Amino acid sequence: MGELSTILIVDDEPKNVDYLEQELEGFGYSTVSASNGAEALAIVKANPPALILLDVMMPVMNGFETCSILKASDETRFIPVIIMTALDAVEDRVRGIKAGADDFLTKPVDERELLARIETSLRLKEAMDR
């Protein structure tokens, strides 16, 4: 599954993007990145990824807004979105779920947990696609 799956990393911190690119490419995923929600929406429209890792606190458009827009569209609502953020309050998790996020991870993220959640999300998407 991983060797064919492209993951969109949406984060305004280049260090976070570099780390995730290295980790995910090491597991056989291809990656593309965006530094804010508006850029992510343009990328998704041009070439939809298999999954989106989405930060919350970004300039231009935050992750909650971005997720809401993705999940409101017939073309993108079934792309799994995993919110990854330093926000860890229950209210933030609830807000992410209400925005349509499929999963929620608090930074710093354990790479084993991240990989497990990506694999689970992609398996669920694959089952839905069938």
Residue 2 has pLDDT above 50, yes or no: no
pTM of the model: 0.92
| Residue 93 or residue 100, greater confidence | 100
pLDDT at 53: 97
Give per-residue pLDDT as tens, 29-45: 999 999 999 999 999 99
First to last CA, the chain: 14
H/E run at residue 96: helix 90-98
Q: What is the maximal distance between C-alpha atoms in the chain?
A: 37
Neighbours of 103 (CB within 10 A): 18
pLDDT at 123: 93
Band the pLDDT of 3: cuts 50, 70, 90. Answer: very low
